[in-house]
Amino acid sequence: METIRTSTPSRTLDIKDNLSKCSQGERVIKLLSGEDLPLEMHKTTIVKKLNLMPIDERVAAIGRAGSNTFLLKSNEVFLDMLTDSGTNAMSDKQQASMFIADDAYSGSESFYRLEAILQKVFRKKFFWPAHQGRACEHILSRLLVKPGDVIPTNYHFTTTRAHIKLQGGTMIEIFTDDAMQVKSTNPFKGNIDIGKLEQAFKDFSGKIPFVRLEAGTNLIGGQPISLENIRQTAEICKANGVPLMMDASLLQDNLFFIKTREASCRDKTILEICNEVASHIDIIYFSARKFGAARGGGICLDDPMLADKIKELIPLFEGFITYGGMSSREMEAIAVGIDETMDFDNISQGPQFIKFMVDELENAGVPVVTPAGGLGVHLDARAFLPHVPPEQLQAASLSAALYIVSGARGMERGTGSEDRNPDGTECIANLELIRLAMPRRVFTMSQIKFVIDRIIWLWKNKELVGGLKWRNEPKIMRFFFGELEPIGDWQERLAKKFKKDGGA
Ligand SMILES: *Cc1c(COP(=O)(O)O)cnc(C)c1O
């Protein structure tokens, strides 16, 4: 089924730097020289050795991987910027909590500790555990979506859309015009368009089982939604008698942006903002591979009838209701991780490192999504490689090229991540991005500067990067396992020029 895309113009706001005005104890330390350099509010206590293979081996590795960074082995990668999923650094307290994990099949103490933290941050009556975010989507779609249903959302995520489609539903994306502008000053590019949402309730009367908000939006550059937008969306849902659902997988960054970009929230603590966000939402689900910085997931809600139905499905698909497919150790780590998410120092690091990298790349003229969002840095492959036709997968070409010159791997988020049109032609994506995820508290400033250096070299040598064609194309979710090959010998020529310029 096709995804219907709608949009209307939105007000563009200037981003004010509210950081220095934040409330006591929640502030950003500035260098007195005036240099805008994010300061890490943590120290490294456990390290993992990295491997930077020589460039000729990297060319061979990306060839074996079909120019698909998903198919590289971790030890072939120097800086792994594929995803923030399950790869965020854990704190000493998270690690310590894992030692007291209670591996009871039923009634595990670890579950109740996690439940208590979720009650503190979301204040919902029920919490059901699941092994990861898409497992929550599977269960919720199964219960709430029937054939012909239409689900309005600010933007889809791959696994969300797949589960809704599986139940015969369609997602309609109701984003603002700014969302599709690579360059923008709109601080909340992830907002749902309120006018269009009201219209959708008229157009699809009786067919909308719920509205889904993603905070922030994964596929359009980690762009946040505002508390005001959440509040307005909740009002419309109430007026129409349907629940409002939030995918809170990336809520951590979104909380940071609400505090630092939404004037009315400047003096609120992260916990207060989180409570307020949740108060407008009926069903919250999350991937704890991101939210909570460990590995797991869950659903929080108040509705006792829906809670009962979910309770029946969890043991069928996930595991008993006091672990839901998660290990007890992970439940402990998630509980501490979510509690630590309420700490401004903790959640600032990701967005600030991302902003640093975006600013440096922009200054060098590299096309990059602005304003800087959460999750990672997004390069605009369409503007980077205008000489490569869209059918030759610009974003995939660029991510293969970047791996060759840096050993860093990003993720293609463009045409390669779409399914083909029903007539068999390529479905050219709205945005052709490569995402360089910034797993939280993982990389040092020198490593980020190294990646910036390599991207700038690539920008100056972009004509050397060519296109790709499919060598093995799966029917669904082809971006995971699909294999491509370079059209011509551009990868070898790129490596040759890089070596000539002193790279290794
Ligand atoms: C990662 C993610 C998911 C899926 O979570 P998994 O734990 O990977 O299954 C769903 N929604 C969003 C917004 C995500 O970023």
**pLDDT in 10s for each residue of the chain, 504 residues:** 344 444 444 443 444 445 544 444 577 788 999 988 999 999 999 999 999 999 999 999 999 999 999 999 999 999 999 999 999 999 999 999 999 999 999 999 999 999 999 999 999 999 999 999 999 999 999 999 999 999 999 999 989 999 999 999 999 999 999 999 999 999 999 999 999 999 999 999 999 999 999 999 998 889 999 999 999 999 999 999 999 999 999 999 999 999 999 999 999 999 999 999 999 999 999 999 999 999 999 999 999 999 999 999 999 999 999 999 999 999 999 999 999 999 999 999 999 999 999 999 999 999 999 999 999 999 999 999 999 999 999 999 999 999 999 999 999 999 998 889 999 999 999 889 999 999 999 999 999 999 999 999 999 999 999 999 999 999 887 999 999 999 999 999 999 999 999 999
Strands 244-247 and 376-380: unpaired
Q: Residue 135: its pLDDT value, please?
A: 98
Pairwise CA distance, residues 274 & 268, whole Å: 10
State the distance from the centre of ligand 1 to the C-alpha of 263, rounded, in angstroms: 29
State the distance from the centre of ligand 1 to the C-alpha of 11, rounded, in angstroms: 29
Pairwise CA distance, residues 257 & 215, whole Å: 10
Pairwise CA distance, residues 234 & 227, whole Å: 11
Collapsing DSSP to helix, strand or coil, 245 comes out as: strand
Query: b/e string for 6-40 if b means 16 or more Cβ within 10 A?
Result: eeeebeeeebeebbeebeeebebeeeeeeeeebee
Nearest CA to ligand 1 atom 12: 249
CA atoms within 13 A on the CB side of 3: 24
Relative to the CA of 295, which ligand 1 atom is closest? Answer: 7
State the distance from the centre of ligand 1 to the C-alpha of 140, rounded, in angstroms: 14
Q: Residue 476: its pLDDT value, please?
A: 80
Radius of gyration of the CA atoms of the chain, in A: 22
Query: What is the rounded end-to-end Cα distance, in angstroms, of the chain?
Result: 46
Q: Residue 27: its pLDDT value, please?
A: 75
Single-letter amino acid code for the residue at 34? G
- Torsion angle, alpha carbons of 170, 427, 180, 208, to 10: 0
Active site residues: 105, 157-158, 247, 290, 413, 479
Contact 129, 103 (CB under 8 A): no
Pairwise CA distance, residues 86 & 309, whole Å: 28
Nearest CA to ligand 1 atom 14: 249
Q: Return the H-helix or E-strand segment holding 138.
A: helix 133-144
Relative to the CA of 297, which ligand 1 atom is closest? Answer: 7
Single-letter amino acid code for the residue at 480? F
Pairwise CA distance, residues 257 & 274, whole Å: 12
Contact 49, 75 (CB under 8 A): no
Q: Residue 95: its pLDDT value, please?
A: 97
State the distance from the centre of ligand 1 to the C-alpha of 423, rounded, in angstroms: 29
Contact 247, 215 (CB under 8 A): yes
- Pocket lining for ligand 1, CB < 6 angstroms: 85, 132-134, 157, 159-160, 214, 218, 247, 249-250, 287, 289-290, 297
Q: Residue 16: its pLDDT value, please?
A: 42
* 398 contact partners, CB below 8 Å, separation of at least 6: 379, 381, 384, 385, 434, 458, 465
What strands, in cross-sheet order, belong to the sheet with 211-214? 4-8, 170-176, 150-153, 211-214, 244-247, 283-287, 297-301, 126-130
Q: At what angle do helices 344-363 and 251-261 cross, to 10 degrees?
A: 80
Q: Residue 496: its pLDDT value, please?
A: 98
Relative to the CA of 214, which ligand 1 atom is closest? Answer: 13
Pairwise CA distance, residues 393 & 411, whole Å: 12
Relative to the CA of 137, which ligand 1 atom is closest? Answer: 10
State the residue for tokens 């869950």: 298
Q: Residue 25: its pLDDT value, please?
A: 57
Contact 258, 250 (CB under 8 A): no
* 350 contact partners, CB below 8 Å, separation of at least 6: 84, 252, 253, 256, 374, 375, 438, 440, 441
